[in-house]
Structure 1
Amino acid sequence: MTPLLLHACCGPCSLEPVRLLRAEGFEPTICWTNPNIQPVSEWQRRLDTLRAWADEVAHVDVIVAGDDRDAWEAAAAPAGFDRERRCRACYALRLAEACRVGRERGFEFVSTTLVVSPYQLFDACGEILSAVAPRFGLTPVWRDFRPFYPEATRESRELGMYRQNYCGCRFSAAEAAIERHEARDARKAAKAAARSAAPQV
């Protein structure tokens, strides 16, 4: 098996990448570097969930790398609700730290679980990993894990893993809350319309 450093954003998103990469002949070591996750209690809960699964189920090593919150605030937070600009800065910071660890630990290959979720900016993430990895002497292993998101969701629920409902930062939490409220309002409106259209008896 070929060693590979796998940047992981959370436990549930790690399930399928670890399985699929192993099927390809890689042996992943997970690298946790996510200074975007707020509040710190949420960061800890996600890390604890990842570690428990990695130790008890997947038998994969986890490296807890640097989480420079000041750097995240300087690089990503100024973009605010400009999601494209914010996420690009966030990806670049996290993937650069993972690649730094990869070079330090003697890895040749690097990948990320970020692209399991269909809510992430797939093309932007791939572009950034492809640019950052060579600067650290690493080869990016870029795969489209998105088709396996439903399977990861089902399996993580079966395992009783904690599943978060926003990407990680305070801006994504607000965006997710707005989307949930809009979806709820749309469901209510659809039910009201259906009742109005129903024949009166």
Structure 2
Amino acid sequence: MNKILLHVCCAPDLVLAHKRLKEENIEYDTFFYNPNIYPEKEYIKRYEAFKQLKKMWKFKELKSEYNHEEFLELMKNVDVKNEKERCYKCMYQRMEKTAQLAKEKGYKIFSTTLLSSPRKSHDEIKRIGNELANKYNIMFYYNNFRSNNAISEGAKFCKANNIYRQQYCGCEFSLIEAEQLRKKSYEQRKERLKKVLDFDFEHLMNKELLKIPEELYPKYLYENGLEIIKDLKPRIIIIKKDIARDLKIKNGRNKIGNWKSKFIVI
């Protein structure tokens, strides 16, 4: 297969795409084109993470300048509160720019790391890709980069190699929505904790380091289970050996429902 021009939306998604393309013995050059990202300091963080991978894997990059006005111009005739419509237009803009550049530079095939994202519809990406393929007389390469537990493996790779992983999709509208979801989640967790904790606990929520039993008496865990820790959501928990044994907690990362945290048993 001819070399692909690969649109890169972010470093974590490139990790998944790179692995799959190498497994298929497909070579690629990259195009980091994302005018949607806001603010500029966030764009810089994501671009620097991309450059970390470029240094590691030695792929070619076709340069693009950051111009958020291009995205805002696109959004003028879009209902920005309609996430589906907004995201479709945004993906189309980035993929079309990639297809145009691929055609101009003599590539026969283009693709996108948006196919790695757990938040994006593959049906929509394929629809856009096929439409652009017909429009520019170029081939669109489809692959489910996120299949076979790739997202989990990619997250581990990013953590091990200190690759920045963003907390929201990219634009100012998604940033607002992400913040609203965080606030809603925080309030829901706080309401659940009020039902089982009879002391002022809010200073323990989202703590970097939670000590058990010094800051959270174990009786609450014995009576109500580990969901309390999940709702407090500390990054690291230091816990006494006898309490850990009672609660069947091992040293290292433990999963509570769909949430994981690091426990240090002493």
- Residues 165-196 of structure 1, C-alpha deviation per residue, up to 9 Å, x if partnerless? 11110001111112222222333333334559
1:97 aligns with: 97
2:257 aligns with: none
1:60 aligns with: 59
Structure 2: how far apart are the matches of 1:184 and 1:68?
34
Counterpart AA for 1:163: R
Map 1:12-51 onto structure 2 (within 5 A): 12-51=12-51
Cα pair 2:38 2:68 within 8 Å, conserved? no
* TM, length-normalised to structure 1: 0.88
Counterpart check, 1:152 vs 2:173? no
Map 1:129-144 onto structure 2 (within 5 A): 129-144=129-144
Structure 1: how far apart are the matches of 2:67 and 2:134?
22
Counterpart AA for 1:73: L
Cα pair 1:76 1:87 within 8 Å, conserved? no
Structure 2: how far apart are the matches of 1:179 and 1:152?
24
Stretch of structure 1 that moved more, 5-14 or 179-188: 179-188
Counterpart AA for 1:168: G
C-alpha displacement of 1:66: 5.4
DSSP 3-state at the match of 1:166: coil
* TM, length-normalised to structure 2: 0.68
Q: Of Structure 1 and Structure 2, which has the larger fraction of its residues in helix?
A: 1
Cα pair 1:96 1:133 within 8 Å, conserved? no
Structure 1: how far apart are the matches of 2:54 and 2:70?
28
DSSP 3-state at the match of 2:27: strand
DSSP 3-state at the match of 2:143: coil
C-alpha displacement of 1:108: 1.0
DSSP 3-state at the match of 1:146: coil
2:88 aligns with: 88
Counterpart AA for 2:124: A
Q: What is the RMSD of the two structures over their aligned residues, measured on CA atoms?
A: 2.1
Question: Which segments of 5 or more consecutive residues in structure 1 lack a partner in the other structure?
Answer: none
- Residues 95-154 of structure 1, C-alpha deviation per residue, up to 9 Å, x if partnerless? 010111111111111111112121223322221122112322221111222331111111
1:176 aligns with: 178
- Residues 25-57 of structure 1, C-alpha deviation per residue, up to 9 Å, x if partnerless? 2101111111001111211221121012112x1
Stretch of structure 1 that moved more, 178-187 or 137-146: 178-187
Structure 2: how far apart are the matches of 1:65 and 1:126?
24
2:73 aligns with: 74
Structure 1: how far apart are the matches of 2:17 and 2:90?
21
Cα pair 2:115 2:144 within 8 Å, conserved? yes
Structure 2: how far apart are the matches of 1:6 and 1:157?
23
Cα pair 2:16 2:146 within 8 Å, conserved? no
DSSP 3-state at the match of 1:96: helix
Are the structure 2 counterparts of residues 26 and 84 from structure 1 closer, same or farther at C-alpha, using a change threshold of 3 Å? same
- Residues 47-106 of structure 1, C-alpha deviation per residue, up to 9 Å, x if partnerless? 121012112x12211212355533321223532121011111111111010111111111
Cα pair 1:22 1:28 within 8 Å, conserved? no
Cα pair 1:2 1:25 within 8 Å, conserved? no
Are the structure 2 counterparts of residues 11 and 189 from structure 1 closer, same or farther at C-alpha, using a change threshold of 3 Å? same
Equivalent residues, number: 198
Structure 2: how far apart are the matches of 1:66 and 1:137?
26
Structure 2: how far apart are the matches of 1:61 and 1:140?
19
Counterpart AA for 1:4: I
Are the structure 2 counterparts of residues 181 and 29 from structure 1 closer, same or farther at C-alpha, using a change threshold of 3 Å? same
Are the structure 2 counterparts of residues 172 and 187 from structure 1 closer, same or farther at C-alpha, using a change threshold of 3 Å? same
